[in-house]
Structure 1
């Protein structure tokens, strides 16, 4: 039973981290498309989504490159400090709850991001800072969950924990691909709503698993015994200390951590890595547009149009009365 619980925890953690990294890629692709005034092939959703603005419902962003850089960079104002805060919260409270709150709030902020982009730059900057705060606590909570439920399976723990970076970059790669497919069809704002809803649904899935396995209480005595059986040179007491949450009364050495050269070096390296990573993501659309002399959405639109045409040819066009007309129009354009 303990083994099943450990696998379930790993499944939930990987799914949550995957969705968070998918959501990170949305704004990278959406802003260049919105600045260029690209609205997708099906604009009815955009008309409904931005009807509150009055007048024309097509939202065109007029942000400069400096303002776009500020939108990207302010994310880390909240992200880097919250990595330390996340460890404290996962230590004081059930790590699953901390992870759930992180994913839920991130998803809600993701859904509201297009409206903030259309309202004022100060609003989207505030949302980006809040996004950093909520996403930063996810990693400490995730590792706390994994260590808590994988105390004796040393080989499994090594495999699962080292899989976390793979999930991160898999989320990045999948996010860029899916965002690029949905954006040309339904507009630059559609991936915000889509992946935000996925994040909310995954939070509900986590709560369902928690109702079945009761992860918030930590491993039980029976779970500990099952874990000890699979380990030769381990006592039950050592596994308890390794797997169970330490007493909440244990003081946290904040002063020692914040004045430690090792901790400060890690914070500096994290900041440099993330800033460099996002500089590449920020300027890549501009570089491709200047070098290739093509709009950043042109190849994406072309690929989506051919994919749509393929679905109409090999799918079920009779289910949609207007599908045949769409097929004829796409064939004529092709």
Structure 2
């Protein structure tokens, strides 16, 4: 009897300890403002700033080239004052300089995706941005030596930045729970547009107060600082993060599915992937969105100067407005997509189709409206709506790789971004050859081409899109046991915090 009482007392004490420890931990998990306690949110935040740097480093030349080629006061040897540009480039040369980045960017998409799938996307992501930041610091002196060296360094920068988009899908294939893919991915991608919003006006200010070389020095240093932080904080997978809670780790694994973390021999079914309708729907959508985006990203400052006679310091501010809208819409669209999926209001496939095709059709209309606008206010309003609605498209095609083939998502992103890089190579020289006299009529043709491509993208994606895991998907070999660096798959107390499933960004 005494033994029974002793056992009963021990059970009561253990139950009390379990209850008290659970109650102590609940407030910690519910303090959502402490985002670093939810490590996937910290990864998303740092990825946001990573893409911020990706586009700040990419767009800097679009504003700098205006300052580099506008006439400046120059005193000749005989004392005569003349106004001549520092770099007297033709429209074709300017288009080549602006598009040179994409020649390198095109090459490393698929290799970057393959490498990320093999060794993990976190390290390759950091190396890509870090190397680009370092090369950016050398851009001004090389530009002063020769235009050829400027083009060469931009090509090499493109080679390193080319791995970034495929790599982040390798990160999300391991870090993103199934029900949070849209919000986590679009939050990270919105950093691209935030980077554009901040860098365009800041580039204008730097060009005005420090001269155009200051643009490259500032953003190069910022990129190197980010690289250091990402390298130290972000791990290859949640299983490798020593600071992740056991509850969050289990939630991610249960939602994502177990998969090999390292050393897995992932085999990609290339023939099946390259003949898959849903894959090419993503590729076409990515191409269409990037055509309009790259055209505006590269030439919007020049367009504002040619058509509305804005100065360099003003073009950066006005050109940033559409991308601010995109950054905001991306947040809303990602959360809305996941909410609709969670509530069962629409199927995953219909969510992707409606968000993507609806955005493309709207962008077709507003790009045409912008082409016929006769006032700067009207033009900026229409372009802002057109670019902003692209946020819904990104909640469609940009996470679709993870829907149809999670183990192969980084390679599929490499494939789609390879084709989607072609607009960055084709559209600047094409626009440069069309806009020879800098007239509104010639710029109108550029906008018409973008509208037609948006419409084609809507048709193809609407017809072939799917968000169901494809039958050709090959899962990586996995082991039920994980090295969790101190964070076990299940808690030693045997409970899991279900509130993790409802956390918000």
TM-score, normalized by the shorter chain, greater than 0.5: yes
Which residue of structure 2 lines up, in the alignment, with residue 226 of structure 1?
247
Which residue of structure 2 lines up, in the alignment, with residue 144 of structure 1?
170
TM-score (norm 1): 0.69
Which residue of structure 2 lines up, in the alignment, with residue 251 of structure 1?
267
Give the drift of 1:260: 5.2
Q: Determine whether 1:79 maps to 2:105.
A: yes
Cα distance change, pair 300–272 in 1 and its aligned pair in 2 (3 A): closer
Please point out which of 70, 73, 97 is paired with 1:36.
70
Q: Determine whether 1:93 maps to 2:114.
A: no
Tell me the SS of whatever aligns to 1:219. Answer: helix
Q: Which runs of 5+ in 2 are unaligned?
A: 1-28, 30-35, 74-83, 317-505
Give the drift of 1:274: 3.4
Which residue of structure 1 lines up, in the alignment, with residue 55 of structure 2?
21
Q: Deviations over 1:294-331 (max 9, x none)?
A: 5x326479xxxxxxxxxxxxxxxxxxxxxxxxxxxxxx
Counterpart contact for 1:9–1:146, Cα < 8 Å:
no
Tell me the SS of whatever aligns to 1:74. Answer: helix
Counterpart contact for 1:109–1:127, Cα < 8 Å:
yes
Q: Which runs of 5+ in 1 are unaligned?
A: 40-57, 302-334
Counterpart CA distance in 2 for 1:36 and 1:283 is: 15
Counterpart CA distance in 2 for 1:216 and 1:291 is: 48
Which residue of structure 1 lines up, in the alignment, with residue 86 of structure 2?
60
TM-score (norm 2): 0.47
Q: Deviations over 1:183-223 (max 9, x none)?
A: 1110011010101000001111123325xxxx146515996
Please point out which of 195, 205, 210 is paired with 1:186.
210
Cα distance change, pair 289–73 in 1 and its aligned pair in 2 (3 A): same
Deviating more after overlay: 6-15 vs 273-282 = 273-282
Counterpart contact for 1:23–1:195, Cα < 8 Å:
yes
Counterpart contact for 1:14–1:167, Cα < 8 Å:
yes
Counterpart CA distance in 2 for 1:4 and 1:126 is: 42
Counterpart contact for 2:204–2:313, Cα < 8 Å:
no
Cα distance change, pair 76–271 in 1 and its aligned pair in 2 (3 A): farther
Counterpart contact for 1:106–1:131, Cα < 8 Å:
yes
Please point out which of 194, 200, 211 is paired with 1:176.
200
Counterpart CA distance in 1 for 2:197 and 2:57 is: 11
Give the drift of 1:285: 3.8
Please point out which of 258, 281, 290 is paired with 1:240.
258
Supply the RMSD in Å over aligned alpha carbons. Answer: 3.5
Which residue of structure 1 lines up, in the alignment, with residue 382 of structure 2?
none
Q: Determine whether 1:112 maps to 2:146.
A: no
Counterpart contact for 1:80–1:271, Cα < 8 Å:
no
Give the drift of 1:269: 5.1
Counterpart CA distance in 2 for 1:184 and 1:132 is: 27
Counterpart CA distance in 2 for 1:128 and 1:155 is: 38
Give the drift of 1:59: 8.8
Tell me the SS of whatever aligns to 2:42. Answer: helix
Q: Determine whether 1:4 maps to 2:24.
A: no
Give the drift of 1:265: 6.0
Cα distance change, pair 9–63 in 1 and its aligned pair in 2 (3 A): same
